[in-house]
């Protein structure tokens, strides 16, 4: 089968994104003034330092680093979403891999072309992530909320046409505590010149987002 040229719109995908450095929490305690207070302080410190002591709600929800993005989806999901692609994917270069990492899969199966990007980013705080999330949602207007996806989820699907070739692209944005997840899933049919329907692209992007959130939660937390 002869190779087919890809539309220009599919050759340039990701733009650099300014990321925020991860920061830890600073804890302080008041000095004790009596022996009894000292005893209570010592007991409290021992409990906090114990490996069996429960973590605080803030610490348990704060992510220290972006997980390995190419491990974020199962091989079965890659096979379903991007037929013909290698399950390992390809991690894209990052200016700071501790706070931002992206993996990409793409393949041409017959005349059907699919492209999937999964990106993780960690910010300095929940507040910083929320502000960034709101800005990104505003830039991707026309979509809607995705209930039950992280602390906040949003999806939007758009159709573009270049040289009579249609491409349909779905984007899912997720905020989970101080982490942000971005999914981009697109497809084209180079024989019919048509794009996959909206439902297929939207469901595929949301499926990838759910697995990416689970991978984030399973990873190391600060």
Distance (Å) of CA 39 to CA 27, 32, 42, 45, 46: 19, 9, 5, 10, 11
Three-state SS at 107: strand
Question: Which residues make beta-bridge pairs with 84?
Answer: none
* pLDDT tens per residue, range 29-41: 334 444 444 444 4
Q: Which one is predicted more confidently, 14 or 187?
A: 187
Radius of gyration of the chain measured on its C-alpha atoms: 22
Residue 219, pLDDT score:
76
Distance (Å) of CA 222 to CA 52, 56, 113, 155, 214: 16, 11, 39, 28, 16
Are 201 and 167 in contact by the 8 Å Cβ rule? The answer is no
How does the average pLDDT of the chain come out, rounded? 80
Q: Describe the strand order of the beta sheet including 112-122 as a list of residue ranges.
A: 90-91, 100-109, 112-122, 179-189, 165-176, 152-162, 144-145
Residue 47, pLDDT score:
44
* pLDDT tens per residue, range 57-72: 444 457 999 999 999 9
**Cβ neighbours for 184, distance < 8 A, ≥ 6 positions apart:** 13, 115, 116, 117, 119, 169, 170, 171, 205
* pLDDT tens per residue, range 144-180: 999 999 999 999 999 999 999 999 999 999 999 999 9
Q: Is pLDDT at 209 greater than 90 in this prediction? A: yes
CA 110 – CA 184 distance, rounded (Å): 22
Residue 211, pLDDT score:
97
């Amino acid at each position: 089968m002869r190779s087919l040229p890809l539309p220009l719109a599919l050759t340039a995908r990701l733009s650099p994104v300014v990321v925020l450095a991860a920061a830890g929490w600073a804890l302080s305690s008041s000095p004790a003034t009596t022996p009894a207070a000292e005893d209570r302080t010592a007991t409290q410190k021992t409990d906090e330092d114990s490996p069996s002591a429960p973590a605080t709600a803030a610490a348990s929800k704060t992510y220290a680093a972006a997980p390995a993005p190419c491990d974020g989806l199962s091989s079965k999901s890659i096979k379903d979403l991007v037929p013909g692609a290698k399950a390992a994917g390809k991690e894209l270069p990052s200016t700071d891999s501790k706070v931002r990492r992206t993996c990409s899969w793409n393949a041409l199966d017959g005349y059907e072309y699919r492209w999937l990007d999964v990106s993780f980013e960690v910010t300095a705080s929940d507040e910083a992530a929320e502000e960034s999330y709101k800005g990104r949602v505003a830039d991707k207007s026309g979509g809607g909320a995705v209930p039950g996806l992280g602390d906040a989820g949003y999806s939007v699907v758009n159709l573009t046409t270049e040289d009579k070739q249609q491409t349909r692209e779905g984007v899912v944005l997720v905020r989970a505590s101080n982490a942000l997840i971005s999914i981009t899933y697109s497809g084209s049919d180079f024989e019919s010149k048509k794009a996959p329907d909206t439902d297929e692209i939207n469901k595929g992007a949301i499926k990838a987002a759910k697995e990416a959130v689970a991978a984030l939660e399973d990873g190391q937390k600060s």
